[in-house]
Structure 1
Amino acid sequence: MARELHRLSTRGIEAAIKKGEEGYEVLRDGGGLSLAIDRFGARWSFLFTSPVTKKRREMGLGPLATMSLADAREIAQGHRGLIAKGIDPLHERERKSEEARRDAVTFEQCANDTRDILARKWTGKNAIYLWDKGVRDCGDLRKMLVKDIRGRDIAAALAVFDLPPVRPSTKRFVHSVIKRTMDTAIAAELREDNPALMSRISRLTSLEQKRGHNASMPYTDVPAFVAKLRENDSRAARCLELIIRTGVRKSEATEATWDEMDFAKGLWIIPAERTKQRREHVVPLTHRVLDILRRQRAQYDAVYDRSSKGANARSAPAPSTPAYVWADDAFACMSHGAFQHLETNGATVHGFRSSLREYLGDETTVSWNTAEEVLGHKVGDATAKAYRRSSGIAKRLAALQYWGDFIDGVSNKNVKETSEAVAKQGVEEQAA
């Protein structure tokens, strides 16, 4: 015998609602459709046996205030039709919800989500700005739905960088933004493939890939280069000399603050959030590096002292000394492109780290561990680090002093001498 349907009436529901203020009641319309009434209101639900799992399930349809009896019956009838076809109504609703979500996420939204995830590991202050600029450079691709983007759309977005002036490096960066965004889309189940993969997009547009390491300068050429660099009294020249002498990364230098400098102890303490390794890096400062920093500080103090005594001093507050060592103003650090006007003979700023490392390895008795620690690299496994309680400041200062003396043409007999104590110390560090 067929189950009786349409048991309820509008008038009967209204009467039950008035009584519902005193307790809880469920009105059944038949075919799995029911209306639950209590003092909080009335809500439709559909009870059924899943054709997939063979288990009883209940799904809410909505409140009576927004769904009439006729609408609820129509929806319930549709669900019964799905069950007859072997489809679980809840599964179908989840599928449609997922489709709706895919139809709402644009490339720009997904790119912003990707940025927020990746930014947790970025150390450069300009990294977020560069990412957002890369997204803007994607042009019309930004407004497209992530699920609809194809290889030809990506190629069209990158084609603008082939026009004069040709910008292959920008094109590579924008491609990287697109590829990473598509990886996020796959992880979020917004799509199943990545059309920006090199194996696919390279068939639609040319992407010159940067190969090899950052170009470096032979360490034998560094003394002459630094001597010429010192003839240039610009901030960029002084900052580059500091980078060469300390072996720090470019962003660590350009974004350095005065609070990180301990002139009394001769130390530069770079906080963990500003280093690539995400751990504090202490840089011992040689006499020349301290002199560079003191001169930079003296220039700022002189400039800001004059500003505070100027004609407008009475009408305007005196500006505060910049927090950044190489500041453009009180609130901004030096840009990464500040060194472009300096002739480095093809070497990159990062490449001078290699020059320092090669010198320490070829010309000194500095141990491998100490040389790596000078550059802020991690040394050894977890066990070795557990026994490496001190930071080896004295050894690293000696290594940087060797490098500084070599740059300045100062003879240092300790560089070439390998005493038994030093040799033994090196063996101990290697085993640490």
Structure 2
Amino acid sequence: MTRAKDRLSAVQVKQSPAGKYADGGGLWLVKSSKDTGKWVLRAVVHGRRREMGLGSVSDVGLAEARKSADKWRTVVRAGGDPIKERARQKREAARNLHLLKHVAEDCFDAIKGNLRGQGKAGRWFSPLELHVLPKLGKVPVADLDQVDIRDTLKPLRDTKFETMRKALNRLDMVVRHAAALGLDVDTQVVDKAKALIGASQHKAVNIPAMPWHEVPGFYQSLSVGSVTHLALRLLILTGVRSRPLRFLRVDHIAGDVWTIPADMMKGREGATGDFRVPLSKEALAVIEQAKRHARDGFLFPSLRRGVVSDMTLSRYMERRKLTARPHGFRSSLRDWLAECTDAPHEVAETVLGHKVGGAVERAYRRTDFIDQRAKLMERWADHCKVVQLVSAV
């Protein structure tokens, strides 16, 4: 049975030209053309006329528009403002619909500009993606509690402690991001979870390093001229970390200096200057050999695409039945500097790209000791090229 206020028909809604058409009870169809228009509810609230949009004609049919109008008329009769009430309900719904997964993605998007390489390598997000979101991603962030977090991450406590620590730190940032968005969250929830997880039996283990006097023998064994062999040789000769070496481009080298962009250096995100690495004659020879493998400007490409992976270098050493790992050559070099040279502490630390001294001291010290480091790296190269023969006594 048609109600007295239901003046429009579905055909009229579809066929009427541009204009305003009353359905009754304050519901209006406002068409801007034959094919486009919107629904509007007019009501008097606290002595003021209010107009509330109920959606476009293409999205909301006549029956749905009438049902929606009835709903908001009820709010008006109760003395409420339907527009403010709808906004309140949307805010409430948003709190319930902001799943942890969505907030985590929004947090990552907000901070990635401060991450190395814009976070494209995935290292920031992966602890969440692999260990938190599969279980908790669909939980509304406002409902997240410390027990959920404990049950999700405690299994990693004694086996993958660093992964757990990173996941907790990332999760804490996500929760605080949610609070900044205006969501009703417990900003202490991660700290509470840490208390529930308890102390770990995990002990930090240093990356195994090859003793400096054994390095020459290994260096000389890298004689095939493959990408892996040449990458390991240059890693040893320069003492850099794996990432800047793997992403080394031909245009990073000028003469006998390799300039590493600041965003490739650990702990130097946002630094105003790059890091210069002096190249010994031996290092330049390795680079010259590597150029025949270059692809897309990279000296050490992978077999398929991109650059050689860190895992490729590590697995090579594993296959050689060595306990030492590629990163450990930095320790080998540092020990050699300490035991076989008189290099000042600040020079030796700069060789490895470490920050030396406080912020004020660094601000006044404008040198990177490039000349002193060049001499040391030439001596280190000479050491690596000569296998030490130890005669039995």
Code of the residue aligned with 2:148 in structure 1: it is D
CA contact (8 A) 1:281 1:376 kept: no
Alignment RMSD: 5.0
Q: Distance in 2 between matches of 1:332 and 1:357?
A: 34
From 276, 280, 285, give the equivalent of 2:279: 285
Code of the residue aligned with 2:74 in structure 1: it is G
1:1-400 matches, within 5 Å, as 9-11=5-7, 21=17, 33=26, 35=28, 37-40=30-33, 41=37, 43-49=39-45, 58-62=51-55, 66-68=61-63, 70-71=66-67, 73-82=69-78, 84=79, 88-123=81-116, 127-128=121-122, 131-132=125-126, 134-138=128-132, 139-161=134-156, 166-194=159-187, 196-197=189-190, 199-206=191-198, 208=200, 223-233=212-222, 239=231, 242-243=234-235, 245-262=237-254, 265-275=255-265, 276-278=268-270, 279-297=273-291, 300=293, 321=295, 323-337=297-311, 338-339=313-314, 341=318, 343-344=323-324, 348=328, 363-364=342-343, 375=353, 395-400=369-374
Bigger Cα displacement from structure 2, 320-329 vs 149-158: 320-329
* CA deviations over 1:377-432 (Å, ceiling 9, x no partner): 59978xx69x97xxx68x5143232244267469xxxxxxxxxxxxxxxxxxxxxx
Task: Provide closer, same or farther for how the CA distance between residues 47 and 167 of structure 1 changes in structure 2, counting only shifts above 3 A.
Answer: same
Task: Provide closer, same or farther for how the CA distance between residues 42 and 238 of structure 1 changes in structure 2, counting only shifts above 3 A.
Answer: closer
CA contact (8 A) 2:257 2:276 kept: yes
Task: Provide closer, same or farther for how the CA distance between residues 215 and 132 of structure 1 changes in structure 2, counting only shifts above 3 A.
Answer: closer
Q: Distance in 2 between matches of 1:12 and 1:251?
A: 69
CA contact (8 A) 2:231 2:245 kept: yes
Q: Distance in 2 between matches of 1:223 and 1:129?
A: 31
Task: Provide closer, same or farther for how the CA distance between residues 189 and 207 of structure 1 changes in structure 2, counting only shifts above 3 A.
Answer: farther
* CA deviations over 1:114-159 (Å, ceiling 9, x no partner): 3333433333687316734641333322333333222111112124
Q: Distance in 1 between matches of 2:23 and 2:343?
A: 89
* CA deviations over 1:20-67 (Å, ceiling 9, x no partner): 857x6585967xx353645444632334446xxx98754323457634
Length-normalised TM-score, structure 1: 0.62
- Give the superposition deviation at 1:200: 1.0
Task: Provide closer, same or farther for how the CA distance between residues 17 and 325 of structure 1 changes in structure 2, counting only shifts above 3 A.
Answer: closer
Task: Provide closer, same or farther for how the CA distance between residues 213 and 146 of structure 1 changes in structure 2, counting only shifts above 3 A.
Answer: same
* CA deviations over 1:262-292 (Å, ceiling 9, x no partner): 4xx1232334553433454343322232133
Task: Provide closer, same or farther for how the CA distance between residues 345 and 322 of structure 1 changes in structure 2, counting only shifts above 3 A.
Answer: closer
Q: Distance in 1 between matches of 2:195 and 2:169?
A: 16
Q: Distance in 2 between matches of 1:370 and 1:230?
A: 21
Name the count of aligned residue pairs: 359
Length-normalised TM-score, structure 2: 0.67
CA contact (8 A) 1:245 1:403 kept: yes
Q: Distance in 2 between matches of 1:256 and 1:243?
A: 11
Code of the residue aligned with 1:201 in structure 2: it is A
**Structure 1 unaligned runs (5+)?**
1-6, 301-319, 411-432
Q: Distance in 1 between matches of 2:212 and 2:235?
A: 14
**Percent of aligned positions that are identical:** 18
Q: Distance in 1 between matches of 2:334 and 2:342?
A: 14
Q: Distance in 2 between matches of 1:127 and 1:12?
A: 58
